Amino acid sequence: MECFTPFGPMIARFRLPQDLVDRINAYADSQVAADRSTEFLLPAEFVTQGGEQSLVRRTASLVRRYLARAEGSPAERVDFDVFWIVSQYAGTPSPAHFHSGDVAGVLYLKVPQIDAAEEENSYIAGRQAGYINFIIGGKQRLSKSLISFKPQVGDIYLFPGWLLHVAEPFRGSGERRSMAFNAVVADDGA
Ligand SMILES: [Fe+2]
C-alpha cells in the first residue's frame, strides 16, 4: 500500500545547540519571576550580539532551511519582528492563538515535571497538558486536524504564523519556559 498525505502546513523541528540555549536562559534567569508566570521581550542588543553566532543570525539560518524544504527556495530576506520569552508555572494556559508575520517559531528552554497521572490523560480531542498542540480546520474523517509535541529543551519548532496553536495548563512542578518569534520573509528584496 502507498499512502499520500500531501495537504496542509509543514512544521519543522530542529535541535538548537546547548550553548545558545544556555545563553538565552542566562539572560532570562535575570528577568523571570520565581513563582509566577511572566512574559517579556528580548531586547534587540541581546538578539543581535555575537555576530554570526547571534540569536538572530542562527535563527534566520533555520528559517531559510525550513523555507527551502517547504517551498523549494530559501528567502532572500528574513526579518524578525520580535523575540519574546514566556515563563509559565502550573495552571497557566496559553490560549489558542496565531502569530503575525510569515514564519513563527517556538524554542523550549526549560520544561516542567508534569504529574505522571496527567500525562496519561488528555484534554478533549487529544490535546496534551503542557504540550504544544497545533490545530487546523475542523475534525474530519481520514484527515488529521491536531498534532501534539512534548516540549524538550533545545527543540525549536518553525511553522506558518497563521497556524493555530495552544498549550493547555499542566499540573506539576517547575517552570515551562519558551522563546517565541515572528519572522517576515521576502524573495524580492522588498
Ligand atoms: Fe504561539
- Which CATH number goes with the domain that contains 127? 2.60.120.620
pLDDT for 23: 96
154 Cα distance to chain centroid = 11
pLDDT for 122: 67
Residue 159 lies in a domain: yes
pLDDT for 116: 76
- How many structural domains is the chain composed of? 1
Residue 158 lies in a domain: yes
- DSSP annotation of 186 reads E
How far away, in angstroms, is 97 Cα from ligand 1 center? 6
d(CA 57, CA 63): 10
Residue 2 lies in a domain: no
pLDDT for 126: 72
Residue whose C-alpha is closest to residue 29's, from 40, 18, 15:
40
Domain of 106, in residue numbers:
12-186
Residue 106 lies in a domain: yes
How far away, in angstroms, is 120 Cα from ligand 1 center? 24
How far away, in angstroms, is 107 Cα from ligand 1 center? 10
pLDDT for 187: 85
pLDDT for 93: 86
Beta strand ranges found along the chain (DSSP E)? 12-15, 38-41, 77-88, 94-97, 103-110, 113-114, 132-135, 146-149, 155-160, 164-167, 172-173, 176-186
Q: What would the grid cell of residue 46 be?
A: 541581546
Residue 64 lies in a domain: yes
Residue 6 lies in a domain: no
Residue whose C-alpha is closest to residue 47's, from 93, 97, 81:
81
Residue 125 lies in a domain: yes
Task: For the chain, list residues with pLDDT below 70.
Answer: 118-122, 124-125, 189-190
